[in-house]
């Protein structure tokens, strides 16, 4: 499932970057973290990860009420990033909060997968873009250019996030310094898959 968010080059190869996240939340052994002391009974629990995109400020749960994966716009037409010039980069972020009410530790990790960057209308802008990411504690750290690593098929996985804890994944989109002026007016679509996984939450240890 792609999330079309356009990045368009304009005069002087300036571009507005619009990014989206495709979120996928799998099945988790909540029962293992919340077994009742009474034999034969198991209490229910909620596995919930909430996301906030910046600079858009949009908020969503990873899984919607109908069980479908959510999509999150990090930027919009009205809340765009700064102009992107050759050799320069722009930044956005997503914060993920572990809202599980399951018993036990029930820590999670969040993984950002390889980005899908596709040209729109037969252009060639995509080959001049690099999408990188890093895991930090606050969104304010995203504008610090150190620590970014290019997103590949291996993805970027955060440190453990305990219940009621929050982690931030920063994204950097950089336009090559060799980008030609012929790119102006071209556009690409960018989407990034995001997944959350349960870590050690079983009282007796990792299952």
120 has a pLDDT exceeding 80: no
What is the percentage of the chain residues whose pLDDT exceeds 90?
Answer: 25
E strand or H helix at 31: helix 30-33
Whether 207 is in a domain gets the answer no
Whether 205 is in a domain gets the answer no
Whether 88 is in a domain gets the answer yes
Using CA atoms, how far apart are residues 48 and 59, in angstroms rounded to an integer?
A: 13
> pLDDT at position 93, please?
93
Whether 180 is in a domain gets the answer yes
Which among 104, 131, 114, 94 is positioned nearest to 7, based on CA atoms? 131
**Structural domain tally of the chain?**
1
The parent domain of residue 16 ranges over: 6-198
> pLDDT at position 108, please?
86
Where does residue 95 rank: exposed (0-12), middle (13-18), buried (19+ CB within 10 A)? buried
Highest mean pLDDT among 5-9, 173-177, 184-188: 173-177
- pLDDT band at 35; cut points 50, 70, 90: very low
The answer to whether the bond into 55 is cis (omega within 30° of 0) is yes
């Amino acid at each position: 499932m792609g999330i079309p968010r356009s990045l368009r080059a304009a005069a002087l190869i300036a571009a507005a970057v619009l990014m989206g996240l495709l979120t996928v939340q799998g099945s988790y052994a909540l029962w293992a973290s919340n077994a009742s002391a009474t034999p034969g009974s198991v209490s229910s629990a909620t596995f919930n990860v909430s996301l906030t995109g910046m600079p858009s400020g949009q908020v969503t749960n990873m899984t919607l009420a109908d069980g479908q994966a959510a999509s999150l716009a990090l930027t919009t037409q009205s809340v765009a990033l700064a102009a992107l010039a050759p050799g320069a980069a722009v930044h956005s972020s997503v914060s993920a909060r572990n809202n599980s009410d399951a018993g036990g530790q029930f820590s999670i990790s969040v993984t950002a997968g390889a980005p899908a960057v596709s040209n729109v209308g037969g252009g060639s802008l995509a080959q001049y873009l690099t999408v990188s990411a890093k895991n930090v504690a606050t969104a304010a750290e995203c504008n610090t250019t150190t620590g970014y690593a290019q997103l590949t098929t291996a993805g970027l996985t955060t440190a453990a996030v305990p219940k009621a804890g929050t982690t931030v994944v920063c994204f950097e989109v950089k336009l090559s310094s060799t980008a030609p002026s012929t790119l102006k007016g071209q556009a690409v679509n960018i989407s990034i898959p995001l997944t959350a996984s349960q870590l050690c939450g079983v009282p007796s240890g990792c299952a």
